Every structure is written in C-alpha cells, then in structure tokens.
Chains A and B, each alone.
Chain A
C-alpha cells in the first residue's frame, strides 16, 4: 500500500454536500459516492452498487438510505448494508450484502477520507481559530506533486477587500508571499501587503484524484464578513485558474503517469452463489452500552443501545436482537428504529412479572452505562414493500416491530395503517413516534377480548388486492387475528405474525431418528431431548434465537418424514406442506426424519 493510501485527504467541501444529494468524489483513482444523511452523518462509499456495478452517485439519497437507480436496492446510512431488495419483497437480504465504505471526518469545512488512513487528518494551527472559509475546489489535470510545486509559488491577495486600492493585486504593488509550511499534499501560504498592514493565510491541499488529476482545495484562515465572501471566492477562483493553466501546460510537456488502479474487492463467496446460506449460531457478537433508559409506557422500559466499538450492523424493519443477560437468560427484543438510524438500537422491554426473570433484570438491574451482550439483528418478520396497502396490527408491546415497519413505510411513501390495541393511552410504548405517523394511526383503547375480536373483524374484512397484514401481540390476540383473517378469505401468505412466545404444550416423549442428507449423518433423538440439542451435541451448527418455536431462526428444510409442528412461526399452509420445521421444538411423528443440512 502506498503512502498516499495511508493518509487522510480532503474529498469534498461541506458546501458540496447539499441535502439529499449524492456527491461524486474521486480519490487515488477510486470513485466515491459521498452523501450526508439527514442526521448529519457523512457517508463515503465506493461509487458502485455491488449488485450490478451501477454508480451510486446516480442513486437517490432519501435522508436515511441510499437507493440504487437500477433495481431500487436500499443501503443504510453508516453501514452501507442492504436493507431491502425489491425483486424479492418477502426475503430479508443477507446481512453481509454491504457496499464498501471508507472513513469520513469533517474538518476545516472539508470532508476528509482515505483508502486506509492512519490516525486523524492533519491539523494546522493557522486554521484552529474556528474562523475558516473553504474555497471552491479547482480540478487540475496534473499530478499532485506538480500542483504542490506550483502552489508554493502561488500568489493571492492579503486582504478580503478585493479590487480596491491596496488589495495587493495592483501592478507593481504585489503581495509578499511566504511559504510557512509544506508537505507532500499541502502548502501553507501567507500573503502580506507591501505596507505590512494586511495579511492573509491559507492552506492549500492537493487532493490526488488520480495519478494525473488533482483537486486543489484551499482553506482561508479567516471568515470574511457576510456579503464579502463572493468576491473572495471569485478572487481565489481566478488566481487558482491561472495556476491550473500553468500547471497543465507543464504536465503536458511530461510523459503521462500510469493511472492509479483501485482494485474492486470481490464479494464474499457465499454472496456470489444463489441461494443464501443459513445464518449461524446463537452468539452475542456485539457489545453495546446502555446510553439511555426511560419509562416508555406503563411497565415498559425503553433502552437506547450504542456500540462500544465499531459500527452497529444493519437492521431491517421487523428485525430483533437477542439480549444476553446474567444467568444464561436470553431474550428477544424487536428494534423500533426508523431506516438509517444506526447510531443506536432502540428496544422496549415490557415487565413480565411472571416471566423467567429476563424483563425483571432489564427493568431493575440494568442501568445507563452498563454494557450488554447482544446478537446481530435477525429478521424473521420481513416487511414486503410491494403491497398496495399494508395493515399493521399491534397489541400491547407488540407495537415495537410495527413501529420500525411504520416508519419505513412512511419514509418510503407507501400506503399503510397502524392499529394500536392497548389498555390505556399510557400503555402505548413510544407513543411520541405515533404523532409523526399522523392519520395512519388508529388507537383502540381499553377494549375487552370480545370488542377486540369485533375490531379485528372489521379491519380485516374485505381483503383488497395486493394487501398484506402484519400482526404482533399477545398469543390470544394473534390466534383470533389468524382465525378472523382466514374467515375473511385472506390467504396465509398475505398475513404475517410475530409471536412473543409459544404457548404450545410440547410433548417430547417421542424418540426418532434424524438423517442429515447433506452431512451424511444419522442421529438418534431420545425422549426429552430436542432435535436442536442432538444436532449441536454432534457438532452440527444451527442458528437459533428464542429456542421456543416463536421466532423462526432455526428453520430447517425437511426432505422426508411426518412432522409434529410445535411452533407458532410457520403458518397452517406451510405446516401442511411439511417442507420446513423449527428444530428447537418440533418433532417427528414418523420413526425417521430427513433434514436438508
């Protein structure tokens, strides 16, 4: 790796990063897409969608995500991870689909980046006053070294009063120029009027766009009065244009340098193949710190979790994380975040006094500043965005994944309605988010079970074309919704459920054999053990999360055998087809099961 690749270089002026714009930048032979999200974060990405190589700079910055022009793939601010692939609306994209990102930092009115920079961008005492003005970038078709040589002989006015007598530009009365600092990619220049009364300092940077292309980015160590900036910019543009003409003439007399080659990284092997592989493990790969904890509703604690090292991974609406707690407790909580909110994960934890102690620990013991072990986000409740209308139905704390979905649909301008069932207004978690969703929200407060059933019947009646329903809430409400939706003629594949827990009583007295078709293993599952336990005991990795048949993470394809489905994740059609099972709870009715692992 060359020295230049280990350095920070300016890439754009902050003025270039207009809201909702994608700026086309170039550094060391590589094209970059530079864009500012609405939260202020500046993204510097390789200017190439990893799907089909289309420049991301022709895409759309929607304030939270960058959308590729070719196929509408959405990439989250900060991580560049893919959050949605419109061609397959029912699938959650693999988390590893991620465009290449580069570091970014703002300093002196410029955005800095680099191929693999060490440390921080350079600092200059002259620019530390806080009063600086970034000049317009000037592109020069010449190598950076030639440009730096020319800049060390560069002249400009020592005063901001351009065009008036004594501005240092008149014939015969030129400014006294001093080079007060110089490096491979910068020159510090001081201009003083002959009478010594006016002085101005500027730092000029040579941004090596390619071997034969350089951008001159100057920063003036002064902030002109409002109104006098335009003449200052104009003066420097004109001075730098003269410099450019001279340097380009010089460069043309020399043999052209070899262009820089910025290699395109290969995509991971598993992404180059179709289909995607299974996710692995029940691991807590991330360490997060509780940045904020507050009462989000009656009996609901809200938590903001921030990363303690590195960037939080991409999530999609409907995703959850596993939170690992003392004593081996693992609990699943849905992320409520809006698209592109990757500076923190926000979860809501309902106190379950009769639960296993997970929510109690989070409510009582976990404090701001504590570090928690959590898994990367998993999405077993993906949101399709090809529906003409989406109906979201939330019961109690079941609102959490639907808040993420609502904000995504809202942000994308898609038609949806959110029905919130709660005991009282004070029981609605994160109610402040509902205000931003406007008329899409209908509150159903304090209804009895019968009244809830009637409300569900009225809102699920008369299915329209291309309509999808997402329901998350307590078990009885989900069972009622499932029944009502079926009676209204809604097909299983248009109604999506997320259960908190699996209420099924599981009979684990059967014993059977599982054969693993791809691993050529045959294993005995005795009474009292789950398929998952037996697989793991024999070294077969299985991804899992809730391990109670609710979340869908441990889904495995079944090639042969009769199943007893003990989960609440698969719908009735899928259970009848018998092509998949949750190995954490489901079992065989036959003596033998053949699994596609």
Chain B
C-alpha cells in the first residue's frame, strides 16, 4: 500500500463542487488575507476595505460567498440554496464561537465519520469523553430526514462531558449530518437539563486527503471562559488528529467489504451509503460497480 497522500488535481465531483464549504473563521481573515487551497484549487480570502468578505481563485475568478455562523463559506460551483440551517444560532442566550481550526492529513469523510463515532471515546479521549471499563455503545437509531442524516437515542458514559461538567454523566447525544463534509452533534447541557449544547464540525477540504476542520460551538454555559471552552475542544481534537492521520487509506472506502463494521457503527454505515447514493466521489473510494451498498 502506498502511504503517500494522494495529492490529486482539480476536483470533478459535481456534488462537492456545488456545495458551500467553510474555508475560514471570519476572525481569521479579519486579521489578514488567507492564502489556501479549496478542492485542490488555489484560493485567497480577505475582507476588503468596505468590510465585505471576498474569495478569489488562483485564476482570479471571484467566488460567491456567505458569512454564516461566524465562518466564510464559498463554493467553486453553483449551490442550489444557501448554507444549511443551524437554528441554534438564533437563540440569543447561547455562547457561539469557533473553538479551533486545525489542519489534518486526512480526507473530509474520514473526519466526519470520526465525529459521528462514540465507541472511540474511552480509548482516544480517556478520562474526558469516555473511560474504561464503560465501553458499551447502546443501540441507537439512524434516520434520514429531509435529505439529512440523524442519529437518535445515543447514550454514552462520560467522565467529563464538556468544559462545564464536574462529574461523570450518562451523556445523551443526537447527531446530524446536513452536508457531506459537515456534521453537528447535540448533547445534554450540564447547565440546562432541558436543552442541548450544539457542536459542529465544518470541514474545509484543501485536497482529497488534506483538510482544515473548524469546530463550531454553541453552548449554554455562563460559567466557562471562551479560553476554557476552546482549551477543552482543542484537547479533544489533539487526541483525534493522530488517529485520523494514521488511517489507511486516507480516502473513505465506500465499498462495504473494505472495512468491518459492527452495530455501533450504524451511523457510519448509513453515512457511507448516503455518500454513495449522493454520488460523492471526492475524498472517498467509490464502491465497485455491482456491489450493493
């Protein structure tokens, strides 16, 4: 097996080309121009003198932009609508911030799948999001609703579920995948039992096998300083990064016989089928023709 990242050229996957991608935290480009890649193409982003966010490709093509949820979203294609809705951002008692932006040598779908996974908590996030011997993943439901994936009834034992928690809880999660390269999770808030904290991973695909992951946070937490919330999420991501960078192949295989799923991987199984059905080819190894997925 070749372990070198497959730095491919331009993306020709219409599904991914026609999506909005979160390429920067707005604070990042307020500090100065960002030179980066999007789907293998060179990209410059900045905020001009009039305060307008701009995105221009290496061939000087001005791209459409959106500034939603604190990020600059842009596209190389023609999206059919706006950026997916995050209704929590309209609740004004929430603290909403970008907890971190981190570069990871992996494909976007591998990172999304890691975000949807609970079984790794006791091993990768030991003492924080999980702890041996509490390793069981209870049965949960995965549904497709209005073109998005949702996982319900997810329960996991967590010693320290968030920056604001002081004791172990059986945390309850709901996952949502509104975009092939972005996902949200909602978990019981330690500050308000009736509401959920929201965390999102918005992925900026530099190439097929290199990403920047933006971690979006919208929490009910009057206590923790931004710095503490960021430190908590940075700690979690620092533990996931080496695992993701040690996955081979870096592209997510959609052939069901490429890897061995178990019941706990139900959300990943459905996510892989969903990508196949959407026809996504960028960042994945498509299933071989004739194999039912």
Contacts and interface: CB of A to CB of B under 8 A. Distances in A.
B165 to A, nearest CB: 19
Contacts of B256: 272-273
A54 B247 contact: yes
| Chain A interface SS verdict (over half) | loop
Given A30-B1, A53-B247, A466-B134, A70 B123 contact: yes
B248 A31 contact: yes
A266 B137 contact: no
- In the complex, which of the residues B124, B132, B246, B258 has the most CB atoms of chain A within 10 Å of its own CB atom? B246
A71 B248 contact: no
A31 B1 contact: yes
Contacts of A90: 136
Contacts of B135: 72, 86-87, 89, 385-386
A51 interface: yes
B119 A87 contact: yes
B12 to A, nearest CB: 23
A436 interface: no
Interface in A131-186: none
B266 interface: yes
A278 interface: no
Contact of B133 (A70, A267, A274, A386): A386
Contacts of A466: 133-134
B49 to A, nearest CB: 48
Interface in B132-191: 132-137
Interface string A33-70: 00000000000000110111111001000000000011
A88 B269 contact: no
B263 interface: yes
Nearest to A271: B260
Interface in A7-42: 29-31
A486 B269 CA distance: 39
B1 A88 contact: no
B243 A272 contact: no
A264 B255 CA distance: 12
Interface in B252-293: 253, 255-266, 269
Contacts of A274: 261-263, 265-266, 269
A266 B257 contact: yes
Nearest to A30: B1
A281 interface: no
| B-side interface size class | 35 or more
Given A69-B123, A259-B2, A262-B1, A88 B259 contact: no
Nearest to B263: A274
A274 B255 CA distance: 14
Given A70-B120, A70-B124, A274-B266, A267 B260 contact: yes
Given A54-B246, A55-B248, A70-B243, A88 B137 contact: yes
Nearest to B246: A55
Nearest to B4: A259
A271 B4 CA distance: 28
Contacts of B249: 53, 264
Contact of A71 (B1, B2, B119, B134): B119
A513 to B, nearest CB: 33
Contacts of B118: 87
A466 B113 CA distance: 29
Contact of B247 (A52, A267, A272): A52
A388 B133 contact: yes
A89 B136 contact: yes
A240 B248 CA distance: 32
A414 interface: yes
B3 interface: yes
Contacts of B265: 274
A269 B257 contact: yes
B122 interface: yes
Contacts of B58: none
Interface string B177-219: 0000000000000000000000000000000000000000000
B133 A414 contact: yes
A215 B86 CA distance: 53
Given A72-B135, A88-B262, A262-B1, A272 B257 contact: yes
- In the complex, which of the residues B132, B259, B262 has the most CB atoms of chain A within 10 Å of its own CB atom? B262
Interface string B1-17: 11110000000000000
B77 interface: no
A264 B258 contact: yes
Nearest to A51: B260
A30 B248 CA distance: 11
25 contacts: A29-B2, A48-B1, A51-B262, A52-B113, A53-B253, A55-B248, A58-B246, A70-B120, A70-B243, A71-B120, A72-B123, A87-B137, A87-B262, A87-B264, A88-B262, A259-B2, A266-B258, A272-B257, A273-B256, A274-B262, A386-B133, A386-B134, A386-B136, A388-B133, A414-B133
Given A88-B263, A263-B1, A272-B259, 15 more contacts: A50-B259, A51-B261, A53-B249, A54-B248, A69-B243, A86-B122, A86-B136, A87-B118, A87-B137, A87-B263, A210-B2, A261-B1, A266-B258, A386-B132, A466-B134
